Amino acid sequence: MSSQTAIVRISGISKNFGGLAALQEVSITVGRGTITSVIGPNGAGKTTLINVLSGFLKPDSGTIELNGAVITGRKAHAITRLGMARTFQTAQVFGQMSVLENVMVGCHARTRTGLAGAALRLPGVRAEERAVREKARGLLAMVGLAGQASMTAASIPIGSQRLLEIARALASQPAVLLLDEPAAGLNTQETRRLGELLLDIRRQGITIMLVEHDMELVMDISDEIAVLNFGRSIARGTPAEIQASPDVIAVYLGED
Amino acid sequence: MHVRKNIPLILLVASVAAAALLITDPYILTMLIFIGIYAIATMGLNLLLGFAGQISLGHGAFFALGAYVSAILTTRFGAPCTAAAALAVALVCAIAWAVGLPCLRLKGHYLAMGTLAFGEIIHITLNAEVELTGGPSGIAGIPVLSLGPFSADSDARYFLIVWCVFIALFVLTRNIINSRPGRALQALHGSEQAAGAMGIDVAGMKLTVFVLSAAYAALAGVLYVHFVAFVSPQAGDIMFSIKMVTMVVAGGMGHLWGGLLGAALLTVLPEMLSYFEDYDMLIYGGILLAMVMFMPGGLTQGLARLSGALRARRTAVRPGAVTGGRTEDPVPRRTAQ
Amino acid sequence: MSIESQIVQFLFTGIALGSIYAMVALGFNIIYNATGILNFAQGEFVMLGGLVMVWLSVTLGLPMPLAFAVTVAAVMAVGALFERLAIYPLKKPPVLILIIITLAGSIIFKGSAMLLWGKKTYSLPHFSSEQPIAVLGATILPQTFWIIGFLAAVVAALALFFNCTMLGKAMRACSFNPTAASLVGINVKRIVLLSFAVSAAIGAIAGIVFTPVVLMEYDRGTMLALKGFCAAVLGGLGNGAGAVVAGLLIGILESFGAGFISSAYKDAIALLVLLLVLVVRPGGLLSRGEASRLKDF
């Protein structure tokens, strides 16, 4: 992949927890506008990778570039502002806030109202508030949660909470969306709709990096797949190449 | 829509105006003044505790610091009240910032213990620095608030000032809650991780809301000290910090009106019960315990539940009112999850 | 008094004070290990221990050993009852709610004590002679040795309990992994109850041995809890040996601070240490980098 089309460049990332090497010299390049999936057995280091990318963990070594700028070691909120948003493996919605407000929080990184402006309701603030509300409604409609907008986030089902997390992440206008097992706990029909949603998001020019166990979904929608095992990246390629790779088959058969 | 939303506030403004004109009984006016002062402090603590989900057991100290700084500036240095008040609030903000910067990296239990320790240190200092603070006997003869020719020398005038401040702060605070920074601080309560992932500077936001809520406490302390004209270290002891927490919890964490309700209830209640003095710790402790165990949303939510249930019963008997889908929670904001 | 004997004097005073803080810290740790809760009412157990003992042995005139046993049992019962009434009924309460509950408990205990005993300060006879013993020019009260002895006894009993009894081992298992503990048949809910009872008992013992030296009144609890907490954090939360060492250290620091710096600020010393530790190294100075448990906080 040529350097112009790479949006995320992960080079030689290592992360140890005590004596355990969660990631060892992992290098992955994510092409602009692609859906790149990271798969691998449990404990392969997939979630650690997402946590390192999104600034929740500092890597021991290696660098991460987003749009050509090094973001290694930046704080989570700064990385979001630079254009990389994430969801969580166990949905972390703001339970006591409404579904709509959750998505409005997502706009935080792209809006500016400060305390004083908010307190005084300056005209610019009102306009921004209206725009944020409209945008949030639009995103809820896109993920199919428009009907639940005024419910508390804690009161909607887990499957809907996952969709809400995606809408909330999209509200930060990311260039790259990191999804940590968005299909976990969804039924077949819901997973199929999720796949369509992700393709829709990619069509809008947003790059997706997907960590997922549901192989059918991964093979259906991915442009590229990277395989992790015991913290090492062992293979990468198109879905067809990965399905044919003896190394990958060994890893998955070995696991069962 | 907008008018309907503002009905409670309009009612409050109207009743404050009516009370200022009609009530002459100094006892009732005094009580209403205290309710207003505590409601201001409680509103600030509610921002921190109810909305942002961060506990502080040191807010009594901010109240006392506000009171003391204003008292010292007016009695020792003859500063005009308004300047002293502004300086007091500013100084407390600076102190809160310095304390909050390291403390707010702490969570839950640690933050509670850290702020409790801070409150105790202030309490000890107020007792020990006799030169400056008068020690245990405190400072007396503090002048009443005045601005130019206008002096709040009657209870009715002081009442009006306190409640105008409350109403103004209420409107500002409500605006904050329903906006970008307000949503960000509520997000902290839901999940700090997710808040960070949404681009919210978690540490910065916590510090901001901590300083802001300390400013409310300091302002309340200033209003208190110029009304009572006396202050002693008791104004900022641990028990007062706990009373403030009780007011927030009883009224309803994360409900702006709840703070007022809690402050009113816990100011009037001691007056209603004779011998309350001896039982106050038991009563505060009992209310605190009962509230978090049985009504974590506080009185505001309890009342909302009740009216929601009544409304539900009324609609349920109407034919065709029953829908198959899930019904909306009658209370839009749920706390303590 | 020469500077040397002054130092010895302060050292012994500090060790006596520190023994009490160490016992409070041990109480914090036991509940923390079993439940992840920091019990804000921990200092109240000490206060109750002292005042109940005064009532039984001075007011009712019970013989010392009997009064001691009954006091410990009574405060244990208070601790257990508190757990059953306020902690047990809640399913998975968030940390914020737990803090408020134990805080409420602490002022309820304090308020009850004020109703029962008033705001008076009470004294208790020393366990043995009140005749000071001269050590290197300093005068040490025999009660100091009783206090140190009881700390040693509590530490020995806890070590025996956690290492040699099934129940103690079950409690340790719970602190490592409550889910796994319940899977192997340990009744976690009962362990939580037990932790409150044991920690109340330790508090009561601290109160009983402490009261003859410093007297006791209804509102001592908060400060004792804060200083005990300081010791617990300094020693690494949940770490028993750390708590003892840190408790003694804080006691000595406070005693020297009161003697050489300012007695008005003696209470502030431990609190400043607490703030400093929380800020600089919340994992504790004496811990072995076991910071992972701090995650929940």
Here the CATH number for the domain that contains residue A33 is 3.40.50.300
High-pLDDT (> 90) share of chain C, %: 56
Closest of B162, B191, B177 to residue B44, by C-alpha: B177
Residue C98 CA: distances (Å) to CA of A216, B164, B296, C48? 44, 36, 12, 22
Residue A173 neighbours by CB distance under 10 Å: 15
| Pair of tokens at residue A213 | 């166990």
Residue with tokens 């906080």: C297
**Extended strands (E) in A68-124:** 69-70, 84-86
Average pLDDT of chain C, as a whole number: 88
Last residue of a domain, one of A148, A170, A192: A170
Note whether A25 and A69 are same-domain residues.
Answer: yes
Last residue of a domain, one of A170, A204, A231: A170
Q: Across-strand partners of A65?
A: A9, A70
Range of the domain at A152: 95-170
Q: Which residues of B touch A111 (CB under 8 A)?
A: 180
Q: Which residues of A touch B332 (CB under 8 A)?
A: 98, 150, 152
| Pair of tokens at residue B48 | 């921190």
Last residue of a domain, one of A170, A195, A213: A170
Note whether C268 contacts B112, CB cutoff 8 Å: no
Chain-centroid distance of CA C131 in Å reads 27
Q: Which residues of B touch C102 (CB under 8 A)?
A: none
Closest of B80, B90, B87, B86 to residue B145, by C-alpha: B80
Q: Is residue A154 part of a domain?
A: yes
Q: What is d(CA A47, CA A45) in angstroms, rounded to the nearest whole number?
A: 6
Question: Which of the 8 DSSP states describes residue C287?
Answer: S
Q: Which residues of C touch B102 (CB under 8 A)?
A: 275, 278-279
Q: Residue type at A20?
A: L
> What pLDDT does residue C244 have?
94
Residue with tokens 């069509």: A203
Q: Is residue A89 part of a domain?
A: no
Residue B306 neighbours by CB distance under 10 Å: 11
Residue C53 CA: distances (Å) to CA of C143, C146, C187, C218? 16, 16, 33, 13
* Closest chain B residue to A81, measured at CA: B199
| Pair of tokens at residue B133 | 């603070």
Q: What is d(CA A34, CA A199) in angstroms, rounded to the nearest whole number?
A: 10
Note whether C95 contacts B109, CB cutoff 8 Å: yes
Residue A190, pLDDT above cutoff 50:
yes
Q: What is d(CA A103, CA A151) in angstroms, rounded to the nearest whole number?
A: 12
Which of A74, A75, A94, A161 has the highest number of chain B CBs within 10 A, making it the mutation to test binding with B? Answer: A94
| Nearest residue, CB atoms, B181 vs list A98, A115, A172 | A115
Note whether B292 contacts C100, CB cutoff 8 Å: yes
What does the buried/exposed string (b/e) look like for C96-134 if buried means 16 or more CB atoms within 10 Å of the residue's CB? bbbbbbbbbbbbbbbbbbbeebeeeebebebbeeeeeee
> What pLDDT does residue A253 have?
66
> What pLDDT does residue B319 have?
43
Note whether A197 and A224 are same-domain residues.
Answer: yes
Alpha helices in C3-92 (DSSP H): 3-35, 42-53, 64-82
Which of B105, B113, B334 has the highest number of chain C CBs within 10 A, making it the mutation to test binding with C? Answer: B113
Contact B47, B258 (CB under 8 A): no
Residue C284 neighbours by CB distance under 10 Å: 24
User: Spelled out in words, what is the top-level CATH class assigned to the domain B2-317?
Assistant: mainly alpha
Note whether A110 and A215 are same-domain residues.
Answer: no
Is the ipTM higher than 0.95? The answer is: no
**Which residues have CB under 8 Å from C243's CB, separation 6+?**
C22, C25, C26, C28, C29, C231, C232, C235
Q: Which residues of A touch B198 (CB under 8 A)?
A: 77, 80, 85, 105-106, 108-109, 168-169, 172
| Pair of tokens at residue C243 | 């708590």
What is the radius of gyration, based on Cα positions, of chain C? 19
Note whether B103 contacts C278, CB cutoff 8 Å: yes
Question: Phi-psi region for residue B160, left (φ > 0), alpha (ψ -120 to 50) or beta?
Answer: alpha
Q: Residue B325 — very low, low, confident or very high, per pLDDT cuts 50/70/90?
A: very low
The more confident residue out of A94 and B146 is: A94
Q: Residue type at B37?
A: I
Residue B221, pLDDT above cutoff 80:
yes
User: Is B298 in the A-facing interface, judged by CB distances under 8 Å?
Assistant: no
> What pLDDT does residue A171 have?
96
pLDDT in tens, C260-286: 888 888 888 888 888 888 877 766 665
Q: Across-strand partners of B231?
A: B139
| Pair of tokens at residue C76 | 């244990």
> What pLDDT does residue A19 have?
78
Note whether A10 and A48 are same-domain residues.
Answer: yes
Note whether A79 and A179 are same-domain residues.
Answer: yes
Note whether A65 and A187 are same-domain residues.
Answer: yes
pLDDT in tens, A43-72: 889 999 999 999 999 999 999 999 999 999
Q: What is d(CA A216, CA A198) in angstroms, rounded to the nearest whole number?
A: 14
Contact C294, C237 (CB under 8 A): yes
Q: Is residue A114 part of a domain?
A: yes
High-pLDDT (> 70) share of chain B, %: 91
DSSP 3-state of A21: strand
Q: Which helix (H) or strand (E) holds C41?
A: none
pLDDT in tens, C28-53: 999 998 888 889 999 999 999 999 99
| Nearest residue, CB atoms, A115 vs list B190, B208, B254 | B208
Alpha helices in B77-154 (DSSP H): 81-103, 108-128, 130-133
Contact A251, A229 (CB under 8 A): yes
> What pLDDT does residue B321 have?
37
Closest of A206, A208, A245 to residue A223, by C-alpha: A208
Note whether B181 contacts A118, CB cutoff 8 Å: yes
Residue C170, pLDDT above cutoff 90:
no
The more confident residue out of C11 and A2 is: C11
Chain-centroid distance of CA C78 in Å reads 15
Residue C90 neighbours by CB distance under 10 Å: 14
Q: Residue type at B188?
A: L
User: Is B121 in the A-facing interface, judged by CB distances under 8 Å?
Assistant: no
Q: Kindly report the nearest CA distance between residue B107 and chain C, in angstroms.
A: 5
DSSP 3-state of A17: strand
Q: Kindly report the nearest CA distance between residue B32 and chain A, in angstroms.
A: 26
Would the CA dihedral through C191, C194, C196, C198 be positive or negative?
A: negative
Q: What is d(CA B145, CA B152) in angstroms, rounded to the nearest whole number?
A: 6
Closest of A201, A158, A204 to residue A181, by C-alpha: A158
Closest of B233, B238, B234, B235 to residue B221, by C-alpha: B235
| Pair of tokens at residue A177 | 């969306």
Domain ranges of chain B: 2-317
Spell out the domains of chain C, with CATH numbers in brackets. Answer: 3-296 (1.10.3470)
Q: Residue type at A113?
A: T
Residue C291, pLDDT above cutoff 70:
no
Q: Which helix (H) or strand (E) holds A35?
A: strand A35-39
Alpha helices in chain A (DSSP H): 46-53, 76-81, 99-106, 115-120, 123-143, 158-170, 188-203, 215-221, 239-244, 246-255
- Total domain count, chain A: 2
DSSP 3-state of B186: helix
Residue B6, pLDDT above cutoff 70:
yes
pLDDT in tens, C95-129: 888 889 999 999 999 999 999 999 999 999 999 88
Q: What is d(CA B293, CA C90) in angstroms, rounded to the nearest whole number?
A: 7
pLDDT in tens, A137-165: 999 999 999 999 999 999 999 889 999 99
Chain-centroid distance of CA A109 in Å reads 16
Q: At A65, phi and psi to the nearest 5?
A: -115, 135
Q: Is residue A74 part of a domain?
A: yes
Note whether A118 contacts B180, CB cutoff 8 Å: yes
> What pLDDT does residue C273 have?
87
Note whether A58 and A181 are same-domain residues.
Answer: yes
> What pLDDT does residue B2 have?
64
Residue C61, pLDDT above cutoff 80:
yes
* Closest chain B residue to A112, measured at CA: B180
Q: Residue type at C166?
A: M
Q: What is the mean pLDDT of residues C6-16?
A: 92
